A and B are shown apart, each in its own frame.
Chain A
Amino acid sequence: MTAAAELIGVTQRFGSFTAVDEIDLAVPSGKLTTLLGPSGCGKTTTLRMIAGYSAPTSGTIRIDGIDSTRTPPEKRNLGMVFQSYALFPHMTVADNVGYGLKLRKVPSAERRSRVMETLELVGLAHLADRKPKKLSGGQQQRVALARAIAIRPKLLLLDEPLSNLDARLRVQMRAEIRRIQAETKLTVILVTHDQDEALEMSDEMVIMNEGRIVQQGSPQQIFPRPADRFVAEFLGYENFLTAADGTPLTIRPEHLRLAEKGQGLDATVVDVAFRGVDLLVSLEVVDPSGATVRLLADVRGGATLTPGSSVTVIAPDDHLVSLPR
């Protein structure tokens, strides 16, 4: 696996605040990598350092094997899509997409055909002569993508590209970006705070917290095996309990099962929320270490559950994840 971009011991400080704290990262070539984390975790700062908009306080950034730590953005040949899209308001869609090619002195006939080809790829060829202001948010997003792709960048960098779109469009665009990535075979780095987006889109996920990388791997590797409590909580593991030997454990609500009697933990129902397809049952449980904890079980059926009733909670071993102490 070759790295399209490599960060070695990269740190970014703003005054006394450390935004990115000595991270090492290898971005696999031809894949879609997401930087995932809550706001302020350093993911956008990391992306901006890769793009060249801010120089790291220390550390090395290699792009395509070449040390680019101090290279200005205009010499990096990377395509960037900004959260606000940043389309040039005084230029048409075609001129926006062709701007990078014009700077590269691509002859106008070739430029026109490459612009149209790229607009075709994002499905906007029919809007080439419009001004950005006349487009919907989703269309502006596609123009921004086309503009970044048209220069045939070494990397395509996407900074929270879907966060300004409404929920339905956001889900559509996830598939759309995946399709474009597959067709162009570009190396893509996508910054997001939305774990569903990251799980659905990523080949490789990099989870960040407080300026550090806390876990890296494919969604299939990470989702069932969160490395620590932060990652577990971030990925929707709601239940935390302690084993008899003191090991912290976690399990997802949908993996807990409820029974009337049997091998498991004794629990009292605290609250039952009806959610259509399933029930969200809030339970008070004495865990194996003897502590009383609140657990959430996401179950189907179970009409007899009422607050105050006693049940047995079964946490299947193959779904229990042990976390570092």
Chain B
Amino acid sequence: MKRPITAALAVIGYVIMIVPIIFVVATAFTAGSTLRFPPDGISLRWFDEALGYEPFIEAAISSLELAVLATALALLLGVPVTLAIHRGKLPGKGLVEGLFLSPLIVPELVVGLALFQQLMVGLGLDNFSTLLVGHTALMLPYAVRVTGASLALADPVLEEAARGLGASPLRAFFNVTLPVLRPGIFSAGLLSMVTSVNNVPLSLLLQGRDFRTLPVTMLDYVQQSYDPMVAAASTLILAATVVIAVIAERTVGFAKIFGGINQ
């Protein structure tokens, strides 16, 4: 009997993932002043506090800035690479694809340390530029994977058809291939942003006095004061992530994003 075991594992998995989140969300709504479960009454005061706490707001803006820039860079690099991998006559396609997917596997601490040594110490780059490089590298797998998934759905004959009707190769790409890829590029962008904003290891290793991302600032805060404001901030981030995930699912679908390219 395989089914009851599978079902039990699934339930355990959900419990392990969801229960801690429920605790965080519940404590965010407390009226009391300590992180405790069950919460002492219900209020929105900690959301108010979190949204009024300047270091958080400043760090949130920094995080978004970094996420938007890194995502743009990752797409600018990743989309042409994906096209080359799937459509071009690139020698060693598999190797190139592996290279662009490798940030998923290489431990971020190692990447972070390497970037710190080479870019910050070696080249003297400021911590924002170094973080931008790190986050861009981290986003590349999403750009390559997600646009690859939607490219696999686009019939390569479409471009030939456009050319037969009188379009130059460039024109055929912009009129036909790019519109077919647009949902994929869009959700790759969303996923990259989420990954960047939520990233801790790289952001922690490469932080500086004048540039810090939100998770790092929150971590700092928790080390000093243990109050429900962090739970409120986390809940806000969670809500934003869920909204973005739903949009990504609606436009391309997780199965295609995380499944094999040739599915």
Contacts and interface: CB of A to CB of B under 8 A. Distances in A.
B180 interface: yes
- State the majority secondary structure of interface residues on A: loop
B163 A79 contact: no
B179 A90 contact: yes
A74 interface: yes
A88 interface: yes
Assign chain A's interface to a size class.
20 to 34
Given A89-B180, A90-B179, A79 B157 contact: no
Contacts of B157: 82, 84, 86
A314 to B, nearest CB: 52
B155 interface: yes
Interface in A74-115: 74, 76-80, 82, 84, 86-90, 99-100, 103-104
B167 A51 contact: no
Nearest to B178: A90
A90 B180 contact: yes
Contact of A104 (B161, B166, B168, B176): B166
A88 B162 contact: yes
A148 B179 CA distance: 21
A73 B161 CA distance: 9
B165 interface: yes
A147 B155 CA distance: 17
A53 interface: yes
A86 B158 contact: yes
Contact of B165 (A72, A89, A90, A100): A100
Nearest to B166: A103
B164 interface: yes
Contacts of A147: 161, 165
A51 B175 CA distance: 20
A222 B175 CA distance: 45
Nearest to B154: A89
A80 B180 contact: no
A93 to B, nearest CB: 14
B161 A74 contact: no
A321 interface: no
B227 interface: no
B87 interface: no
A235 B239 CA distance: 68
Nearest to A100: B165
B126 interface: no
5 contacts: A74-B168, A88-B158, A88-B161, A99-B167, A100-B166
